[in-house]
Structure 1
Amino acid sequence: MTIQNATTTPMSMQLMTGAVDRLATQETTIQGEVSSGVLSDSYAGLGDQRYAALSLQPQITEVAAWTSNITSAQNTLSVTQTAMSRITTIATNLQTSLTSLAGTTSASTVTAVALQARQDLTQLASLLNTQSGTEYVFAGNDSTSAPVADPSTIASGTFFQTVAASVATVGTNGAATTEAATVTAASDNGPSASVFSASLSTDATSASALGRSLTVGNQQHVGVGLVATAGGAASATSTGSPIRDLMRALAVVGSLDQADSSSTGFTTLVQDTTTQMTAVSAGLGLEVTSLGQTQNNLTSQTASLGEMSDALVKQLGAVKDSDPASLSTQLTATQNQLQASYSLIADMKGMSLAAYL
């Protein structure tokens, strides 16, 4: 509609066309709200309610980030649990093999058990390089670095050869001396001796502080994955790390075919390793239980965050979302007013002085 110049348009016509312009703008605004489903596409358009919207939106974003972290953590924990299940199976099989040696010193039996232990040691090293996406689940906070540099050479590298050399002399040096030497070899964090990455080549207690965590709530953090070399205090028969102790035991058993199986030292070494494996299995079991508990806690946290998100979204909707029924009524009323105004203006344009006489 074209509005005439104020100098030639009667005052009543100017007022009428101004009212029509405002009604047309109102109609466009209402139609926009109907189409978008929100009262305004900007916070400024919400009036005093913009402060509530500005407060709620960051909270919704934060909850979404926590939920995303939980999803990531659950994926990592699931992958870690699968790897740990296979590692505990290796430990169980080793205990079975050691039991089979208790009643015989047959060369063929010793050879078979030693071969299996070497194969399991290689498998263990490969499992420690398990990844969830691009992250190594046993690497702690250095999750982009492989925990074990080269799993394929672990049964022939410095660590294994050092253990094998000690086991080979068990017949003359005795079990106690041999065990002490193998614990030292398994605990060696030197760059040429350790099978682990530089960040993981530390004592078990220090390694426990290298865990990776994600934020899953307000001041709530959860550990994801495991640190391969983590554990507690070392002792004369333990590195302090269940996984390192399992590696040591596998290396010891994997070297038994180089020892004098008829010696007292051999028998004692097998008995002591069997006893030590009980503690290793218990330590691995605690890790598995801890992972499971964390997964259960995260499942509960996911439900809580879902309820929180729904509540926040509902509050934001009450501030930003338009009411379809109310808008429909407003739009109909506005369109009726516009139609009446158009008709009135058309009638006013057709009036002449004679119409007033």
Structure 2
Amino acid sequence: MSMNVSQYGAAGANLILNTGIRQIESEQTDIAWQTSQGTTSSSISGLGSDRQTILSLSPKLAELTGYQSNLSSVQNRLSLSSTALKQVTDLAQSLNSQLLSMLSSEGGEKASTTTAADSARTGLGSLGTILNTSDGSSFIFAGQNTSTAPVTSPSTLNDSTLAHTISQIVSGLKDGNSGTVFSQATAASADNSASMSVFSQALSQPAEQAGALQASAIIGPDGSTVQTGPVATQGGQASSTSTGSPIRDLMRDMMIMTSMKGMDTTTPGFTNLVRQLHTSLGTTANQLIDMNTSVGVTQNTLTRQQGIYSSLQLMVKEQLSNGLNVNLAEVATRSSDLSLQLKASFSLIADMKNMSLADYL
């Protein structure tokens, strides 16, 4: 009597072969993922011995990417700050050149003074607009309160309470009181009351305190931060001739010049007041240049930091690549081998169904 292996011994062999087939198909699923995605596995468990390394590196890469994003944002704000400060400096220097001309006999004529006053009036409006520069989502010179414009109404600076107050002070100019006029205009410009200040409530602070209002951003794993730009009203110690803030001093000088329209060298106290304005604008221009230089130094420091982070990102990405990415040529070879193994297994199962015990032995 003849016995078929399929009735008895083939059952165990089939079980072994079917288990092998399922393993091959599972490997083919992994191979399909690797071929389409270029990575080792679709799951953490499939990463094998590299799992812990990859799990530790991924957060580090995300952290570095976050720092780079912050640095790029800060660099953009600093670039806008630098451009704006350059524009403000140009305004100060241009007006100072006109003041220097006004000290001459011809420059001190009424027509020249009127031209300079008109330039100051126009420049005041431009200054307000520049100080309200935005990066699209926040105001550059607003400090920590980035959603509030530094200058409450730039288009009406010439008609503000401060401008009218300074105009009234200048109207009292006479021989021997130019210093008093200048100090009174300075005091008015340093007034932080809501009725007098042209700046937002948050920025209506003494110049020495306003510097502490600067916004900052985290740029390092140790929690290190960097200031994202100057505040419109920041500066140093105030005096009888300075509010302490170069921008506030410039605004005061522009308002004084605007108020001098129609005056000339025959006006009592005119020449002395022009000299004071000339000295003040020269000092202000230098302070603005120093402020812009400080911004440039920060930009250079951040550029170096960005370079360091870029190198670290490349290193981490390379380590991740070694653990995650696959050699597609090797994957293709493995895929071909698995396909052949699968075909052979199915063929063997089919052949075993017709094998006799003698054939099996």
TM-score calculated relative to the size of structure 1: 0.92
User: Which string of whole-angstrom CA distances, capped at 9 and with x for unpartnered residues, describes residues 90-143 of structure 1?
Assistant: 101111111111113322222221121111111111111111112111111111
Q: For residue 282 of structure 1, report the CA deviation from its aligned partner.
A: 0.7
8 Å contact kept, 2:33–2:42: no
1:39 is matched with 40
Closer, same or farther: CA 326–6 of 1 in aligned 2, 3 Å: farther
Matches of 1:101 and 1:356 in 2, distance apart? Answer: 118
3-state SS in 1 of match to 2:261: helix
2:331 is matched with 327
User: Which string of whole-angstrom CA distances, capped at 9 and with x for unpartnered residues, describes residues 285-330 of structure 1?
Assistant: 0111112222222222222211111110111111111222332333
> Are 1:94 and 2:102 matched, yes or no?
no
Matches of 1:235 and 1:167 in 2, distance apart? Answer: 19
8 Å contact kept, 1:167–1:259: no
Closer, same or farther: CA 187–327 of 1 in aligned 2, 3 Å: same
Matches of 1:143 and 1:186 in 2, distance apart? Answer: 23
Deviates more, 1:45-54 or 1:322-331: 322-331
Matches of 2:254 and 2:346 in 1, distance apart? Answer: 94
User: What does 1:8-23 correspond to in 2, within 5 Å?
Assistant: 10-23=11-24
Aligned Cα RMSD in Å? 2.2
Matches of 2:263 and 2:167 in 1, distance apart? Answer: 9
Deviates more, 1:94-103 or 1:66-75: 66-75
Q: For residue 9 of structure 1, report the CA deviation from its aligned partner.
A: 6.0
User: Which string of whole-angstrom CA distances, capped at 9 and with x for unpartnered residues, describes residues 205-263 of structure 1?
Assistant: 11001111222222332222320000111111111111001011111111112667425
User: What does 1:43-192 correspond to in 2, within 5 Å?
Assistant: 43-104=44-105, 105-171=108-174, 174-192=177-195
8 Å contact kept, 2:113–2:262: no
> Are 1:257 and 2:232 matched, yes or no?
no
User: Which string of whole-angstrom CA distances, capped at 9 and with x for unpartnered residues, describes residues 177-217 of structure 1?
Assistant: 11110110110100010000000000001100111122222
3-state SS in 1 of match to 2:145: coil
Matches of 2:173 and 2:32 in 1, distance apart? Answer: 90
2:121 partner letter: R
Closer, same or farther: CA 332–271 of 1 in aligned 2, 3 Å: same
8 Å contact kept, 2:92–2:285: yes
User: Which string of whole-angstrom CA distances, capped at 9 and with x for unpartnered residues, describes residues 53-106 of structure 1?
Assistant: 111111111111111112222222222222222111110111111111111332
Q: For residue 145 of structure 1, report the CA deviation from its aligned partner.
A: 0.5
Q: How many residues align?
A: 353
Deviates more, 1:43-52 or 1:282-291: 43-52
1:314 is matched with 318
1:343 is matched with 347
Closer, same or farther: CA 32–172 of 1 in aligned 2, 3 Å: same
2:346 partner letter: Y
1:273 partner letter: L
8 Å contact kept, 1:168–1:259: no
Closer, same or farther: CA 172–240 of 1 in aligned 2, 3 Å: same
Closer, same or farther: CA 93–22 of 1 in aligned 2, 3 Å: same
In the alignment, structure 1 segments of 5+ residues that lack a partner are: none
8 Å contact kept, 1:259–1:266: yes
8 Å contact kept, 2:117–2:261: yes
Q: For residue 29 of structure 1, report the CA deviation from its aligned partner.
A: 2.0
Deviates more, 1:45-54 or 1:251-260: 251-260
Deviates more, 1:184-193 or 1:297-306: 297-306
2:26 is matched with 25
Deviates more, 1:10-19 or 1:139-148: 10-19
Q: For residue 24 of structure 1, report the CA deviation from its aligned partner.
A: 2.2
8 Å contact kept, 1:168–1:260: no
Matches of 1:347 and 1:97 in 2, distance apart? Answer: 105
Matches of 1:258 and 1:241 in 2, distance apart? Answer: 29
Closer, same or farther: CA 115–345 of 1 in aligned 2, 3 Å: same
Matches of 1:78 and 1:236 in 2, distance apart? Answer: 33
8 Å contact kept, 2:10–2:352: no
8 Å contact kept, 1:43–1:53: no
> Are 1:223 and 2:230 matched, yes or no?
no
> Are 1:202 and 2:205 matched, yes or no?
yes
> Are 1:241 and 2:242 matched, yes or no?
no
1:286 is matched with 290
8 Å contact kept, 1:98–1:270: yes
Q: For residue 148 of structure 1, report the CA deviation from its aligned partner.
A: 0.8
